[in-house]
Structure 1
Amino acid sequence: MSIPVVTVGDSREDLVGKLERLHGPVSVVRRCTELAELLAACQSGLARAAVVAQGSEELTASLVDRLSAVGVAVVALTDSTEEMARLQGIGVAAELSGVGAAALAGRIQSAVSQLTGRDPLLRQGDSSGPPDAGRAPESSGGGAVDGAERSGAGKVIAVWGPAGSPGRTMLAVNMAAELAAAGKSVLLVDADSYGASVAAMLGLLDEAAGLAQACRLADQGLLNQEALLRIAAPVVTKTGSFRVLTGITRADRWTELRPAALSLVLSRARQLAEVVVIDTGFCLESDEELSFDTMAPRRNAATLRSLELADMVFAVGAADSIGVPRLVRGLAELESAVPGVSPRVVLNKVRQSAVGRFPERQLRDAWERFGPTVPLSAFLPADPVATDAALLAGSLLLEAAPDSPLRRGIADLVCAPVQRISRSSVFSSTAKRRLKG
């Protein structure tokens, strides 16, 4: 049985006719005049591959991701080798316009096989029907970043916590500073789509929304390491330096943080830094019930994608009678949203006035009796004097209060496990100097 294909654009050599005359691996079921029509045809379950003969410059990573989500592989034809490289960077199988029909048919078959993980001509059971337009692909990353999510040797640390200001940003920012002080090359990413505040905490007068800029370039297939270095703001401390991709400046800009583009940004970040620290949002809702169009942008996609791609997740909650139950419920939601995640649970703002005498013992006993199976990993003491001094100065704990118990707790928390992360073999000393510079 042949692969159903839709095409867009007219070809000087009647590409459709040549494919049809093969009488074999592919069958053109519709010829579209524009990408919008092609996208609608693919989302209806009509095809398993889309051939873009003209207008490939309109393809973006987000569009490819939407097509991959409904089981459609994208093949584009172009006369430019630069455009071919851009298309391949966003997950498109690109070919030169002069490719023969038989070679193009083979390329289509290969692209579909790569997307589905099996030979597209060998259908079994009920999989012989068209792909379900409402079903997400098995891979969370989609075709636009397939094979690119884990490229590079850098490791990703995501800091997440439930609603209620448990201290996500404070922890992420100071984690990045401690790792930089330990000699690691670090990139801090503010992926909170509700209340991005890394720039404010660091005293950066930034209105550029670095992460949104990076996602925009990545969506167009134009983000490389040099561009990422230009966008990321440097933060220099007495003991080290790191770079920051600042968050969106207004909450209504969340649509700029598309998951396919964010995956590409993190892929580039892995190649550039030994450790990438992400400050995520609190909400894990998938938004499926909030939209009639299941392919619409997702408000929480940036948080979910960051957690999916993270090598290590820190779940932080406030150590009081409100924060602990929120964290317990949040961990259940986290397991449901990102199956298989194994977070390191951190209780922040630990103090006698909220818990009683011997607060750590009280919290551990209560957690073992009533909490989830995930064990507690660390307790961070409440230290309002140190945090207020750092916030007032737009600085970090290692500068504003280097001897504070909170600063020492964060250093012990992050530096010990990260020592097990091997230094990147592909991260050149030149690139490392540029990142720190």
Structure 2
Amino acid sequence: MSIPVITLGAEASAYVPGLEQLRGPVTVVRRCAELTELVAACQSGLARAVIIAPGAAELTASLVDRLRFTGVVVVALCDHLPGTGSPGVDGVEYVEATVEPAALAAAVARAVGRFEADPARPQGSLAYADPLGLPDAAAVQPVQVAEEPGTGRIVAVWGPPGAPGRTTVALNLAAELAAAGSSVLLIDADTYGASIGASLGLLDESAGLAQACRIADQGRFDGTVLGRIAVSVAVKGGRLRVLTGITRPDRWPELRPAALGKVLEAGRSLAEVTVIDCGFCLEADEELSFDTLAPRRNGAALRCLEVADTVVAVGAADTIGVPRLVKALAELGDAVPTATPRVVFNKVRAAAVGRAPETQLREAWERFGPTVGISAFLPMDHAAADRALLAGTALLETAPGSPLRLAIADLADVPAAGEARRRRPGGRPRNVKFPGIPARLPR
């Protein structure tokens, strides 16, 4: 059976007569002059492969993954095959621009065969981050990830709108793990109000995550490259790597889900624990879905939640924050069925809940909340939080005895005294767990 192919660019179209003379492996069904025309034709199910001429379009990981959603593979003509000096984009079949038509047809057949043999082919790599090809929530089962020595884990700190304290929890959780001897990467992926950089006094830093995504979108990306981009911050005897967020909310198109996924994969090899401060919104941006190349503002948060090993759902402990968290958890279950949230109530205080606030919250949660139990209660401590923000550091530096700091240290299962627990030379990493949670984070 002949493979339907679309060409893009003059050099690719010049191969049409030669490919047609072969009368077999491939059939050119359309010649496109512009990328938007190519994407529209692929979305209609017209082709199984595209042949792109040199310079006709910028090959990025985002474009390749978009085309994968439509069941189309990319074969790129190039003047020089990618090598050590010029890494190519994963998922692209590269051939020389001077190749014979028969060899080009063989490359197309090879790329299609490899694509069809890929078990992840139906959903692609942006399963929940992109509304195209969204899987049925009832049909998706949580993926069990086997623990392997040296494999970093990802913790996504997320919560509903209304400033429940996502950034405070993410920053101090990462700082506690780093001070206790773990290698930690802290990423600010909030596309609405990135604030990790300001909270750590990194006001002169550029958008580190946007820079990493740009490099990852152009080709191969690994932990070594990520380590050069991340900023190193000293935290009470430890070092914390930080990937700062976008400097303005209108820069959200730079955090494309495909590229962000590659950055997170590199984070697993760079650090034992990667802590992400996620945005709150989980809407699929369906108003943009008419254009398959339109970026999704909430795709960054969805992508982080999709790949995270642990999702810490932070809610404010008051009459407004609790109902918001209940509704947000239902939305999380619909948007990312594989996520298993760990509920953490922040800003716990008697003035907002009543006497014995933890008991009151637990009883109300058991009565009106979802089946997910409460993992931790973080007390309100405005004075300590203000001192840390003013100093541009974590609570363990400015307020080591703060009840809030002690609660976060207990959440991370690290010594409250702040003394680092170093690994024995040649020993295996110990496990860090959230209290009452079977999932463990290697340190």
User: Same-fold call, TM > 0.5?
Assistant: yes
Q: Distance in 2 between matches of 1:408 and 1:392?
A: 20
- Alignment-derived partner of residue 433 in structure 2: 417
Bigger mean CA deviation after superposition, 332-341 or 202-211: 202-211
Preserved CA contact (<8 Å) 1:232 1:244: yes
- Alignment-derived partner of residue 214 in structure 2: 216
- Alignment-derived partner of residue 94 in structure 1: 94
Q: Distance in 2 between matches of 1:320 and 1:137?
A: 34
Q: How many pairs does the alignment contain? A: 400
Say which SS state the counterpart of residue 284 (structure 1) adopts. coil
Q: Distance in 2 between matches of 1:330 and 1:184?
A: 31
Preserved CA contact (<8 Å) 1:192 1:303: yes
CA-based RMSD of the aligned residues comes to: 2.9
TM-score by length of 1: 0.84
**What one-letter code is carried by the residue in structure 2 that aligns with 1:366?**
A
- Alignment-derived partner of residue 419 in structure 2: none
Say which SS state the counterpart of residue 306 (structure 1) adopts. helix
Query: What is the Cα deviation at residue 26 of structure 1?
Result: 2.2
Q: Distance in 2 between matches of 1:282 and 1:26?
A: 46
- Alignment-derived partner of residue 394 in structure 2: 396
Q: Distance in 2 between matches of 1:99 and 1:192?
A: 45
Matches within 5 A, 1:162-173: 162-173=160-171
- Alignment-derived partner of residue 32 in structure 1: 32
Which structure is higher in helix share? 1
Q: Distance in 2 between matches of 1:284 and 1:137?
A: 13
Say which SS state the counterpart of residue 179 (structure 1) adopts. helix
Bigger mean CA deviation after superposition, 90-99 or 349-358: 90-99
Q: Distance in 2 between matches of 1:99 and 1:242?
A: 49
- Alignment-derived partner of residue 343 in structure 2: 345
Q: Distance in 2 between matches of 1:32 and 1:266?
A: 34
**What one-letter code is carried by the residue in structure 2 that aligns with 1:372?**
P
**What one-letter code is carried by the residue in structure 2 that aligns with 1:417?**
K
Matches within 5 A, 1:234-313: 234-289=232-287, 292-313=290-311
Q: Distance in 2 between matches of 1:275 and 1:378?
A: 20
Matches within 5 A, 1:3-152: 3-11=3-11, 15-55=15-55, 58-82=58-82, 88-97=88-97, 99=99, 101-117=101-117, 135-136=132-133
The answer for unaligned runs of 5 or more in structure 1 is: 120-133, 141-149, 424-437
Rate the CA distance shift 1:13–1:247 in 2: closer, same or farther, 3 A.
closer
* Residues 103-141 of structure 1, C-alpha deviations (whole Å, 9 max, x = no match): 54343234334445579xxxxxxxxxxxxxx8427699x
- Alignment-derived partner of residue 327 in structure 2: 329
The answer for unaligned runs of 5 or more in structure 2 is: 120-130, 138-146, 414-431
Rate the CA distance shift 1:85–1:343 in 2: closer, same or farther, 3 A.
farther
Query: What is the Cα deviation at residue 321 of structure 1?
Result: 0.5
Query: What is the Cα deviation at residue 31 of structure 1?
Result: 2.6
Q: Distance in 2 between matches of 1:420 and 1:347?
A: 20
**What one-letter code is carried by the residue in structure 2 that aligns with 1:39?**
V
Q: Distance in 2 between matches of 1:293 and 1:181?
A: 46
Matches within 5 A, 1:184-199: 184-199=182-197
Q: Distance in 1 between matches of 2:319 and 2:114?
A: 50
- Alignment-derived partner of residue 172 in structure 2: 174
